[in-house]
Amino acid sequence: MCETKPSVLFVCVHNAGRSQMAAAFLTHLGTDRVQVRSAGSAPANTVNPAVVEAMRESGIDISAEAPKVLTTEAVQASDVVITMGCGDACPYFPGKRYLDWQLDDPAGQGVAAVRPIRDEIERRIRGLLAELGIEPAA
């Protein structure tokens, strides 16, 4: 029996903080049971170093990640599109599930300010996995 994996796309403006953390948590906790993408409407050159450090503290290494540009194809290929402050920059397609997560922007913040954002994202990812019927990895 071939089951299709749910596909989730995380979108923020720079794809350097919130969406990178969310994608990393979903990849880590969902293991290979979820297809994960992240992108930005105006991608930065690099992932925020404070975000990389905060994720390292959680045991997840995102140092090799790079911000990616949001494409129409990425939205079309996703079942769930979670926006994080990208506003109207995200294309809308009927039949997709859209969620807007209001989260503080870690841009320009130190690791101490990023930790509560990281922890809230992890909490929301665990909730999303429960909604998708996927048990999070230990």
> pTM of the entire structure?
0.94
Residue 93 has a pLDDT of 78
Q: Measured between alpha carbons, how far is 11 from 54 in angstroms, rounded to an integer?
A: 19
What tens digit of pLDDT does each residue of 47-101 get? 999 999 999 999 999 999 999 999 989 999 999 999 987 666 666 778 889 999 9
pLDDT, residue 86, reads 65
From 94, 63, 72, 55, select the one nearest 11 (Cα to Cα).
Answer: 72
Q: How confident is the model at residue 1 (pLDDT cuts 50, 70, 90)?
A: very low
CB contact at 8 A, 103 and 13: no
For the sheet containing 7-12, what is the strand order? 35-40, 7-12, 80-83, 97-100
Is residue 11 predicted with pLDDT exceeding 90?
A: yes
User: Average of pLDDT values for 18-32?
Assistant: 96
Tokens encoding 24:
């990393």
